[in-house]
Structure 1
Amino acid sequence: MKKTLTAGILAALVLSLGSPAFAAEKKQEATVPADAPNVAIMLDASGSMARKIDGVSKYELAKKEAFNFGSELENTNVLMRVFGSEGNNKNSGKIQSCNAIRGVYGFQTYDEQSFRNSLNGIKPTGWTPIANALQDAKNAFDQLDNNGKNVVYLLTDGEETCGGNPVKVATELRKSDRETVVNVIGFDFGEGYHGQLTSIAKAGGGEYFQAKTQKDIKRIFTQEAAKLTK
């Protein structure tokens, strides 16, 4: 009986080692180098992102392009955070909303199903804690032990509304021990190239991109993915 059990266990082990899931895991471990870029996608889920463009909320449009962006980041560690998605956009919900930085997808290689599932049930609702979101990205970067560069993509349709100083945090990110840049995508943002969002990108050593439409977001993310994976 003992020999039969042992043989069964060995057979199960061999099957598990040959399973697609195990093979995918081994493939990821083998293909992601120690100097792979670490990409943090910070997605605005504040109340203003519920406004619609051609019948679809800005949040849904941005989320779709964030998914597409992740799928293009081969050999890259990807993280996604959502900010402002709790409480409400009234004073009664401000404290909760301003502290709501949701770590929906921790640093790892892109997995389509997990990445898509990470945003299930999240709706745009509250205030805009950009400084807290950037600080959260900094904390996540500080936990990494690889030596790849750090890149932030902050996608928002407005400026800080929680009293934080995102320009200061972007400056601190830029001064990190490893190469770090902060890029900002202003989606349907009325101030254009002026104001706080431009200052955040400048302080973080990155670029400010103006996106008026979903196609603009797609174009920006496509060209950035090409830079990161070349």
Structure 2
Amino acid sequence: MRKKLTLGILTAMVLSLGSPAFAAEKKQEVTVAKDAPNIAIMLDASGSMAKKMNGVSKYELAKNEAFSFGSKLENTNVLMRVFGSEGNNKNSGKVQSCNAIRGVYGFQMYDEQSFRNSLNGIGPTGWTPIANALQDAKNAFDQLNSNGKNIVYLLTDGEETCGGNPVKVATELRKSDRDTVVNVIGFDYEGDFHGQLTSIAKAGGGEYFQAKTKNDIKKIFTQEAIELSK
């Protein structure tokens, strides 16, 4: 009797796994529409992001809001890059840091556990290679076989410190074959509002957002997620 019961359960499981409903559900988890937007989140992990706000580093605050933003995105390809997370913020670590663009999460639908795991062991360390980060985003977009709009969210607390020209790269992104926009979030940024970060957003056809607190980032990402869902 026990053997028959076990066999029946296994048979039911096999049939359910092979059912059209299960197949459709599984397919939905791994694919997005051909014209779905492609979102590239570029997160600053330079040494200045180690500064604490209410006992928590700016990097951790920004990272957690990036997680929350990703969870709100449906039918969307999401990519995450972290820049400046290697070497150190001294001259001895500049070359390594300025070339440290870590592709932690390649273009795919958002999966919370994978997204969170992708940033394990990464912390704020070095310099700020914004131009290299934007170039990396451009390279990733160029490899996509998609008709969707390309959107960059560059989250940083400072300007380029590696000698690159991020305004030029943002311009190239904007002029690419696909409809591409570069948005910039200046987190606890103490520079001139009309400085480089604003110029990057303008050259990229996007917006510059000023975020003084974690809640400011949350509001920005929440509103952007709403706009993307329309």
* Shared fold (TM-score, shorter chain, > 0.5): yes
Instruction: Tell me the distance in 2 between the aligned counterparts of 1:123 and 1:184.
Output: 21
Matches for 1:130-141 after TM superposition, within 5 Å: 130-141=130-141
Q: Deviations over 1:12-51 (max 9, x none)?
A: 8656546x99665312356x21100000000000000000
Unaligned runs of 5+ in 2: 1-9
Instruction: Tell me the distance in 1 between the aligned counterparts of 2:100 and 2:24.
Output: 36
Identity of aligned residues (%): 80
Give the equivalent residue in structure 2 for 1:104.
104
Give the equivalent residue in structure 2 for 1:197.
197
Q: 1:119 to 1:15 in 2, by over 3 A?
A: same
CA contact (8 A) 1:17 1:23 kept: no
Give the equivalent residue in structure 2 for 1:25.
26
**Helix, strand or coil at the partner of 2:107:** strand
Instruction: Tell me the distance in 2 between the aligned counterparts of 1:199 and 1:175.
Output: 16
Correspondence 1:162 to 2:169: no
Question: More displaced, 190-199 or 218-227?
Answer: 190-199
CA contact (8 A) 1:149 1:179 kept: yes
CA contact (8 A) 2:30 2:108 kept: no
Correspondence 1:119 to 2:119: yes
Correspondence 1:58 to 2:62: no
Displaced runs of 4 or more, over 2 A = 10-18, 20-25
Q: Deviations over 1:201-224 (max 9, x none)?
A: 000000000000000000000000
**Helix, strand or coil at the partner of 1:26:** helix
**Helix, strand or coil at the partner of 2:135:** helix
Q: 1:84 to 1:199 in 2, by over 3 A?
A: same
Q: 1:34 to 1:123 in 2, by over 3 A?
A: same
Instruction: Tell me the distance in 2 between the aligned counterparts of 1:215 and 1:125.
Output: 24
Give the equivalent residue in structure 1 for 2:7.
none
Q: Please state how far the C-alpha of 1:55 moved relative to its aligned partner.
A: 0.7
The letter of the residue matching 1:223 is: Q
The letter of the residue matching 1:52 is: K
Give the equivalent residue in structure 1 for 2:71.
71
Q: Deviations over 1:112-170 (max 9, x none)?
A: 10011110000100000000000000000000011000000000000000000000000
Instruction: Tell me the distance in 1 between the aligned counterparts of 2:211 and 2:103.
Output: 25
Instruction: Tell me the distance in 2 between the aligned counterparts of 1:126 and 1:52.
Output: 16
CA contact (8 A) 1:157 1:189 kept: yes
**Helix, strand or coil at the partner of 1:41:** strand
The letter of the residue matching 2:27 is: K
The letter of the residue matching 1:210 is: Q
Give the equivalent residue in structure 1 for 2:128.
128
Give the equivalent residue in structure 1 for 2:90.
90
